[in-house]
Amino acid sequence: MSSSLNVTLALLAGAAGMMDALSYTRLDHVFTSAMTGNTALLGLALGELEYAAVLRSSLAFGGFVAGLAIGALLLGNGIERGRWSRGVTAALWVELVLLAAFTAAWLITTDTRSTTVLYSLIVLAAAGMGLQSVAVWQLRVPGISTTFFTGTLTSIVISSVRFVRPGQDVAQKPSNTLRQIMALVAYVVGAAIAGVAAAHQLEAVSVLPLIAVLIVLVWHIVLG
């Protein structure tokens, strides 16, 4: 397994972790990457008749779906999965533009954030994460997504149990288990970094997801 793919997954997972932490702590409790958690928050808000929270979670959900749709259009039809393609590059470039807009709006409106700006930040972040999800889907790394980790955790545990089971051949250990663990750890580390920054009012942390995606693009451009 190539080191370039490892770097790509770690950086993108870290970016998603930071975006989820930022959006939850500073955008009134929504997730812009983890749609399972965001859907649960939506259901909770509906049950409690918290209509403003319903709207925020719905915007995150809609933004993510819009990102998925744009990413799918960029990938086109009949593209072989499992490789870096022009569609992946295009999806990440559009994500980069959206994250740049998010970062600019975040930094400019820190002390004067209106409801309209809040909603715009949610949609920009969620759409960017949707595009990232499509790009990673195209790479077809078994059991790995950089924007949700329930399935990744499931794969890690199943692979680990099979590996330690009596009579199991070491050679049969799935080669991507360590990569799955790496992506999960990167997501947690990204969320932790954003959490520390939020606790200390370090607004500049909003630029880190943008930098992570930019590094991925430059890395693949340089490597060809």
Distance (Å, whole) CA 139 – CA 185 = 20
Q: Please, are residues 94 and 158 in contact by the beta-carbon 8 Å criterion?
A: no
Q: Are 76 and 50 in contact (CB under 8 A)?
A: no
Encoded amino acid at 7, one letter? V
* pLDDT tens per residue, range 95-135: 999 999 999 999 998 777 789 999 999 999 999 999 999 99
pLDDT digits (tens, 9 = 90+) for 60-79: 999 999 999 999 999 876 55
pLDDT means over runs of 10, the chain (224 residues): 81 95 92 92 93 95 96 77 82 96 92 87 97 91 78 79 64 68 92 89 89 93 74
CATH number for the domain spanning 70: value is: 1.20.1250
% of the chain at pLDDT higher than 70: 91
The reported pLDDT for the residue numbered 74 is 92
Radius of gyration in angstroms for the set of CA atoms belonging to the chain, rounded to a whole number: 18
For residue 32, the enclosing domain spans: 3-223
For position 175, what pLDDT does the model report? 65
pLDDT of residue 80: 60
What CA–CA distance (Å, rounded) separates 142 from 60? 26
Nearest Cα neighbor of 66 from 115, 19, 124 is: 124
| Cα 194 from Cα 72, distance rounded (Å) | 29
Count up the domains in the chain and report the number.
1
The answer to whether residues 11 and 213 touch, using CB atoms and an 8 Å cutoff, is yes
- The half-sphere exposure of 22 on its side-chain side, counting CA atoms within 13 A, is 34
